[in-house]
Amino acid sequence: EVQLVESGGGLVQPGGSLRLSCAASGFTFSTYYMNWVRQAPGKGLEWVSYISSGGSTIYYADSVKGRFTISRDNAKSSLYLQMNSLRDDDTAVYYCARARSGSYSDFDYWGQGTLVIVSS
């Protein structure tokens, strides 16, 4: 069974940093492209970042470019999101999501999400 489990969320002050993790199981993690998607309270979905299976290709939303860094450790079947210079509007539930097939692909499996609150 495919499982994606996020962790690392919490309360952080504006300007602070946080590192999210996503532990994958039930599939060959190293062969899949992965993404982070977030959802602010009561709002819609916002794609955040993408990383190719080997980590060589990375994309970011303009709203996080220069502040967030996506990475992965295929040996540990884990995806990460390093978030620096956090702002109030980064407050959201953050989901990791697997791309079903290729780099321009929908997301067939999602984690349960981890809540990040940026507040003083």
Partner 1 sequence: QLTQSPSSLSASVGDRVTITCRASQGLTSYLAWYQQKPGKAPKLLIYAASTLQSGVPSRFSGSGSGTDFTLTISSLQPEDFATYYCQQLNNYPLTFGGGTKVEI
Binding site for partner 1 (CB under 8 A): 35, 37, 44-47, 50, 59-62, 95, 100, 104-108, 110-113
Q: Between 62 and 75, whose beta carbon lies closer to partner 1?
A: 62
Asked if residues 84 and 26 have their Cβ atoms less than 8 Å apart, the reply is: no
Residue 88 beta carbon to partner 1: minimum distance, rounded to whole angstroms? 21
Q: Between 37 and 79, whose beta carbon lies closer to partner 1?
A: 37
Express the helix, strand and coil content of the chain in percent, nearest 5 each.
5, 50, 45
Q: Between 19 and 100, whose beta carbon lies closer to partner 1?
A: 100
Residue 12 beta carbon to partner 1: minimum distance, rounded to whole angstroms? 22
Residue 120 beta carbon to partner 1: minimum distance, rounded to whole angstroms? 27
Angstrom distance (rounded) from CA 99 to CA 109? 8
Residue 13 beta carbon to partner 1: minimum distance, rounded to whole angstroms? 26
**Cα end-to-end distance, the chain, whole Å:** 40
Supply 24's token pair. 């994958």
Sign, CA torsion 51/46/18/90: positive
Q: Between 27 and 60, whose beta carbon lies closer to partner 1?
A: 60
Three-state DSSP at 60 gives: strand
